[in-house]
Structure 1
Amino acid sequence: MRSLRDSSRTPHGSFQLVHIFEVAFTHIPVASQNRLYTTCSCSIMMTVLRVINPLNCLLAALIAPVLGLTGVSFTDLSDNLSPRAEICLPGSDCFINASMRWSAAIRPQFEAIVKVYTESDVQHTVRLASDNGIPFFAISGGHGTHQALNNVKGGIGILLRGLNKVTVRGDIASIGGGALIGEVTQSLKERGRETGKTLLLKTRCLYLKPLVAAGACDCVGYAAPLLGGGHGYLQGRYGLIADQLIQARVVLGNGTVVTTSKSRLPDLFWAIRGAGHNFGIATELKVKTYPRTLRTKNWTIAQFTFTGDALERIVGLSNDWLADPHPPVELSHTAAFGFDPLTNNMLIVQPVINVFVLWQGNSIPPEYTDPLRYLQPVSMSTRTTDFRGINAGLGADINGPVCQKDASHFQYGVTSRKWDVDGVRKAFSTFSNAPEWLRNSFVILEAYGWEAVEKKSDAATAFSQRRDRAIFAPIITYSNNACLDALANEFGKRLRDQMVESIESNGGDANAYINYARGDEDLKDIYGANYARLTELKAKYDPGRKFVFYNPLPMP
């Protein structure tokens, strides 16, 4: 039997409590010790009804895994796992590394993290958790910021990174459920093909889609954006990321595995394309790919920087492009406003607006750049590169600053048919008054092509927002500090709610994009007209409600 550091079992012999504390604490890295002390200090600061001794708080954090919260031994699971699989228990370097997330403000509490390498590993882990009433969820890139993830207490994380194989046969790619976007794009680039990816603007990853699609942010998992629909630069030509899915292997909540496609379990296939986080763990995805040609391999990016007085004219111009009934499929555009001390007066710090026009080709037609030049930007630049060049240039490669896991982030997403100019201005004004500790945050205004997206009905897949062409996406970023989480979340929700209220007061419909949802939105604003059918399928495929940590559907 493989060696297993099973600290969830009570050790043999008579140990003094202090000795357990001393041994456990000395084996925790200094950074982790500091995080535990910070948690205790925060408890003291935020609790007025009782006083918590920092030592007791530290002891509780350390002793829980020693004594075991579930009474379940992982030895039997270890015997059934593949040779490379590993069970990481609290206090080990393996556990600390596996539990790190893009947002340090998302803190699920695990009793163990299982690093899986085969589909069978996933099945055995799910069965152990399900049979013993232990919460679990799958991890690939670890970028989700949904608030329900913090509801995991004494759970098991299933780290899918070992399932990262990418194979291509003809125009179909088979992608492991743990593959990162960078791994997918690199593998397909070597074969002269492309599929779903992401683009980074400043410090934010925007989920893209397949060439199927365009972009960067190598450290995001490929499966998660697809399961939520998935927007991207080539959606005007090919549709959403989810529209590229041909077949999926899915482990259900009882540990059984099924293959789903248009002809096999078609109702499940419909559901996982837009609400997939509710139904199982995707271990393999077969997706369409498209050849890269001399005409499509390069992208030209024009960047314009403006002060806040140009906001209404920028948003109006974007709305004009969004109203085009037949926009060029090569075009995507997006904007982001945030604080940039390099372009602000040192005494008067105000947000600036960066506008990005992206064109699939070697040059951008002047009708999409001249109107922005006319607005007299503070600065402007243009460059042509391939997808991998976008990654490196924007710091979104696997070792780039955007992929580092040392800060706290919350994200939000409001979708609508077009931009609400009043709402954008209100959000900009609120954002301008952000406290200094939140000034690494920013707000993204995303807009992509839509012709191929809107050719399908809202009922074609579980993704119901095909008519929404504008995505308002605040990204709240700050130094890791649990004591600031509530204030940061309040600020982000204020930006989101201002936009929703303005859209609705002006007669529009505001929805919530599932891949950016915070978790307190009305589920009908996420799932739309598909809500009722999805609740019925939830009861059919997840009757035990095992998948409840990402926009979870209720039972009918």
Structure 2
Amino acid sequence: MENLSIQGQVLTPQSGDAYTTALRRNSDLSVLPAKYIVQPVLYEDIPPVIACATSQSPPLEIAVKGGGAHSATWASSNGGVVIDLSKLNKVTLAADKQSITVQGGAYWGDVYEVTSKEKVDVVGSPLWFVGVGGYTLGGGHGPLSGEHGLAVDNLLSATIVLADGRIVKTSSDEEPDLFWAIRGGGGQFGIAVDFTFKVYPYAGPIGAGMMAYPGSEIAQVLKIITDWKKTQTPTERFTMNFSRPAPHFKPTIVILPTVLHDQDGSRTQKILAPFREGAVKPVLDKVGLVPDMLTVSHAADAAIAAAPRSLVIRGTLISDFFPELLLGVYEKWLAFTESNEDVRASAVLFDLTSPHKLAEIGSADTPLKNREPNYWMAVQGRSKTDASVEAAREFTADIVSFVREKNAELSGQDLGWWLTLCQGNEKPEDVFGTNLPRLRELKTKYDPKKVWSKGFVIEPLV
């Protein structure tokens, strides 16, 4: 591998700090010691790496790192090869500002640096450090999804390096089967080295910030939310967190709002009035106008920097903000974080973005089976010690199982699992539903030998 004629860099454990730096991920639990880390600078650097790895006996495992934000080991390999796309991070806005092309190693922060400067917007992650590649291949829920749908609904084309070394362009007109598969099928069909997305008019100024309530007021807060949802429009959303912020670590309900297109702050004041004038008042209220998604995406930087780096995340979907479900999750979270101070940084998130735009796309139009209105939730199990990691893993698995079962009971719909926040041991039919047979056919067409065996694996038919 070290002797490949490529322009990129090949790192090994003997490469010192460069190798150690390249191993880092958002969660320390995601780090595995690769035999080689290859950092291509050209798309043409990648096919020789694939050929070399697959020619070994046995073949070397290949993992692909875009942003490295996933808490599983999908972007790492124990003794294999990691194709690290971090040098392929260019962002190019079209001259007419109708589309933007983003290389597969870019973070959403790289994209927002460009869109902020040019006063345009694109459907992307609420967090700057999330990689564009993994986020998009899993579907892509974001703060602008209420208005414009998911990231995959706004994908115009992509460039993919296939398992056989070919570099192909895919869109609705070119390699349309491949284009269908990558819009929610994960990284199972090739390495996405660039994406071209639709661009929209500037969404700012944006009302954003934080409102916090004592955990003991959970029932009253949920009543406010139930009423607020009745008048919600696609331009406003929030994330609700159950967390224990420092320095007192008291159980807290945190509301993180996003109000788009607010020129003078008056819309934000009106929209958030129920959260300030209801039966319970916030104990912390820091909401104001920020200029753009770049600023929004950095809002959690301080909290994330202070959090334990042993992190496992799971998530799933819910049909509605059922109070019974939310109260059940709160009680489970409260008991867990009170049981051991090593895990009290664990948190639960529920996102309330208007779901109607995503429902305009048919369930067979992309691999994402859940196209009826729904919302996403996530569980962050964080541990300060190695001894508590397994407890954090069990907690996240217990919560998402409870949510799935309770949602099915209350809605009559089993939404299965959400690919983006799977860990890899879920049943494929629970993730893709009736789209699984077509995905398996396309896996057979594009990767019959399972060169792409990291992530949520789709089995070929042969």
Same-fold call, TM cutoff 0.5: yes
- The CA deviation at 1:108 is 2.6
Quote the Cα distance in structure 1 between the aligned partners of 2:306 and 2:429: 34
Q: Percent identity?
A: 24
> Rg larger in 1 or in 2?
1
Quote the Cα distance in structure 2 between the aligned partners of 1:146 and 1:270: 25
Kept in 2, the 8 Å contact 1:410–1:489? The answer is yes
Cα distance, 1:446–1:275 mapped onto 2, change above 3 Å:
same
Quote the Cα distance in structure 2 between the aligned partners of 1:523 and 1:315: 33
- The CA deviation at 1:319 is 4.4
Equivalent residue of 1:110, what SS? coil
- The CA deviation at 1:385 is 0.5
- The CA deviation at 1:307 is 1.9
Quote the Cα distance in structure 2 between the aligned partners of 1:494 and 1:379: 31
Give 1:25-424 correspondences, 5 Å limit.
74-77=1-4, 80-82=5-7, 85-91=8-14, 92-132=16-56, 133-146=59-72, 152-169=77-94, 170=96, 171-199=98-126, 217-292=127-202, 296-301=203-208, 303-322=210-229, 327-342=232-247, 350-360=250-260, 361=262, 362-364=265-267, 368-373=271-276, 374=278, 375-386=280-291, 387-395=293-301, 402=304, 407-424=309-326
Quote the Cα distance in structure 2 between the aligned partners of 1:258 and 1:116: 17
Say whether 1:531 aligns with 2:436.
yes
- The CA deviation at 1:518 is 2.2
- The CA deviation at 1:542 is 1.0
Cα distance, 1:166–1:478 mapped onto 2, change above 3 Å:
same
Quote the Cα distance in structure 1 between the aligned partners of 2:141 and 2:78: 32
- The CA deviation at 1:394 is 3.1
Quote the Cα distance in structure 2 between the aligned partners of 1:320 and 1:252: 49
Count of aligned pairs? 446
Cα distance, 1:112–1:273 mapped onto 2, change above 3 Å:
same
Which residue in the other structure is 1:490 paired with?
394
Quote the Cα distance in structure 2 between the aligned partners of 1:258 and 1:411: 33
Equivalent residue of 2:37, what SS? strand
Q: Which amino acid aligns with 1:496?
A: V
Which residue in the other structure is 1:505 paired with?
409
Quote the Cα distance in structure 1 between the aligned partners of 2:307 and 2:448: 35
Quote the Cα distance in structure 2 between the aligned partners of 1:460 and 1:332: 26
Cα distance, 1:391–1:284 mapped onto 2, change above 3 Å:
closer
Quote the Cα distance in structure 2 between the aligned partners of 1:378 and 1:405: 22
- The CA deviation at 1:168 is 1.6
* CA root-mean-square deviation: 2.3
- The CA deviation at 1:501 is 2.4
- The CA deviation at 1:525 is 2.3
Equivalent residue of 2:403, what SS? helix
- The CA deviation at 1:134 is 0.8
Which residue in the other structure is 1:11 paired with?
none
Kept in 2, the 8 Å contact 1:278–1:538? The answer is yes
> Greater shift after overlay, 257-266 or 453-462?
453-462
TM-score, L = length of structure 1: 0.75
Deviations 1:22-66 (A, max 9, x none): xxxxxxxxxxxxxxxxxxxxxxxxxxxxxxxxxxxxxxxxxxxxx
Quote the Cα distance in structure 1 between the aligned partners of 2:237 and 2:11: 43
Kept in 2, the 8 Å contact 1:114–1:159? The answer is yes
Q: Which amino acid aligns with 1:297?
A: G
Quote the Cα distance in structure 1 between the aligned partners of 2:342 and 2:306: 19
Q: Which amino acid aligns with 2:362?
A: S
Cα distance, 1:363–1:137 mapped onto 2, change above 3 Å:
farther
TM-score, L = length of structure 2: 0.90
Deviations 1:252-296 (A, max 9, x none): 12222111100111111011001131111101111111232xxx3
Q: Which amino acid aligns with 2:273?
A: D
Q: Which amino acid aligns with 2:296?
A: I
Q: Which amino acid aligns with 1:280?
A: G
Kept in 2, the 8 Å contact 1:181–1:196? The answer is no
- The CA deviation at 1:316 is 4.4
Cα distance, 1:341–1:230 mapped onto 2, change above 3 Å:
same
Task: Determine which of 446, 453, 459 is the counterpart of 1:548.
Answer: 453
- The CA deviation at 1:198 is 2.4
> Greater shift after overlay, 488-497 or 306-315?
306-315
Quote the Cα distance in structure 2 between the aligned partners of 1:227 and 1:535: 16
Q: Which amino acid aligns with 2:405?
A: E
Quote the Cα distance in structure 2 between the aligned partners of 1:318 and 1:124: 54
Kept in 1, the 8 Å contact 2:308–2:345? The answer is no
Equivalent residue of 1:335, what SS? strand
Task: Determine which of 380, 384, 403 is the counterpart of 1:475.
Answer: 380
Equivalent residue of 1:369, what SS? helix
Extract unaligned runs of 5+ from structure 1: 1-73, 200-216
